[in-house]
Amino acid sequence: MPDPLGEPVVLVVGSLHHDILIEADHLPRRDETAVGRRWYPKFGGKGGNQAVAAARAGVTARMCGAVGRDGFGTFLLAALDAGRVDRRFVVEIDGAGSGMSVAVQDAGGDYAATIVSGANLRIDPALLADDRPWSGAAVLVLQNEVPEAVNLAAAAQARRRGIRTLLNAAPARPLHPELRGLVDLLIVNAVEAEMMGSAPVTDLASALEGARRLSAGFASVIVTAGAQGLAACTSMGDQFTLPARRVAVVSSHGAGDAFTGTLAAALARGSPLCDAAAIASDAAARHVSAPAPG
């Protein structure tokens, strides 16, 4: 189902965050005041990052979400424009601050973050009943940084319209049984897989076992295992593993979003799941090895 320009459409319903990223030698421990080297603002939110990644992968990316009428919101809307994302369905909300996060990244490129959801919690599920956001959509992408009622409304509309639904279940949380039944592909990292019932994921073999276990409740599952790679399994028993490409890691911040957005774009173009996962894995490798902003 292409858009008027002939490109498949990926519809992303989800979060938008103004990120503040702090670089430090190490992540602070409890009660520790760590000294950082520098900080800089960054466009974020899993939804926003995934929409930009999908657009970069060559499809039409459309975003449904919310920001506040504040400086952070202005920053986020400008970044969507710069990323060539259709943001006609991003609502500006009075009386709520835009979503934001603070992330601390250590010298090895690993990070920890805290989010404040703000306007993301005020997305109206009724927005998804409108036909306009769905025009030409081939794939719907969801995450867990917005209320579950929004995800449920979006997934129900997608199923009604015959559109494939991807859920990047991050951060991990209990899922409504109805939402589980509407998800065509679950994407989780090692920590999220364990929180959803997998055994600990430490390598590709345990990632595959985790994907197998989770596929009892979902049509298809991908478990990403960071530098190890990924594993996938379907409820029909099809399965594969894919080692990660070796790169020098600059920052892992946003790598999962680069993977998910690129995967959605490849699936929207008609690629089989294994091929789409390989394309997305390469995009994530490029993302983690990209130079940090000057």
Residue 109 belongs to domain with CATH number: 3.40.1190.20
Q: What is the pLDDT of residue 205?
A: 95
Q: What is the pLDDT of residue 1?
A: 37
Is residue 239 within 8 A of residue 210, CB to CB? The reply is no
Per-residue pLDDT band at 290 (split at 50, 70, 90): confident
CA dist., res. 10 & res. 55, Å (int): 8
Instruction: For residues 282-290, give the mean pLDDT.
Output: 86
CA dist., res. 278 & res. 172, Å (int): 24
CA dist., res. 62 & res. 9, Å (int): 7
Q: Is there a domain that residue 246 lies in?
A: no
Q: Is there a domain that residue 199 lies in?
A: no
Stronger pLDDT, 169 or 110, i.e. the higher one = 169
Q: Is there a domain that residue 240 lies in?
A: no
Q: Is there a domain that residue 47 lies in?
A: yes
Tens of pLDDT, residues 175-184: 999 999 999 9
**Which of the following is catalytic: 19, 70, 184, 257?**
257
Q: How many domains does the chain have?
A: 1
Tens of pLDDT, residues 36-83: 999 999 999 999 999 999 999 999 999 999 999 999 999 999 999 999
Q: Is there a domain that residue 134 lies in?
A: yes
Instruction: For residues 191-206, give the mean pLDDT.
Output: 93
Q: Is there a domain that residue 215 lies in?
A: no
By percentage, how much of the chain surpasses pLDDT 70?
Answer: 96
Tens of pLDDT, residues 124-170: 999 999 999 999 999 999 999 999 999 999 999 999 999 999 999 99
Instruction: For residues 7-25, give the mean pLDDT.
Output: 95
Is residue 43 within 8 A of residue 73, CB to CB? The reply is no
Q: Is there a domain that residue 23 lies in?
A: yes
Q: Is there a domain that residue 145 lies in?
A: yes
Q: What is the pLDDT of residue 254?
A: 77
Burial class (CB in 10 A: 0-12, 13-18, 19+), 71: exposed
Active site residue 257: yes
DSSP per-residue letters across 251-271: --TTHHHHHHHHHHHHHHTT-
List the domain range (segments joined by +) for residue 168. 9-29+36-180
Mean residue pLDDT across the chain: 92
Per-residue pLDDT band at 294 (split at 50, 70, 90): low
Single out the residue of 150, 237, 235 nearest to residue 186, CA to CA. Answer: 235
Q: What is the pLDDT of residue 2?
A: 42
Q: What is the pLDDT of residue 271?
A: 96
Q: Which residues have CB under 8 Å from 33's CB, separation 6+?
A: none
Stronger pLDDT, 4 or 10, i.e. the higher one = 10
Per-residue pLDDT band at 87 (split at 50, 70, 90): very high
Q: What is the pLDDT of residue 5?
A: 55
CA dist., res. 131 & res. 151, Å (int): 16
Q: What is the pLDDT of residue 53?
A: 97
Using only the alpha carbons of the chain, give its radius of gyration: 18
Per-residue pLDDT band at 279 (split at 50, 70, 90): very high
CA dist., res. 21 & res. 146, Å (int): 21
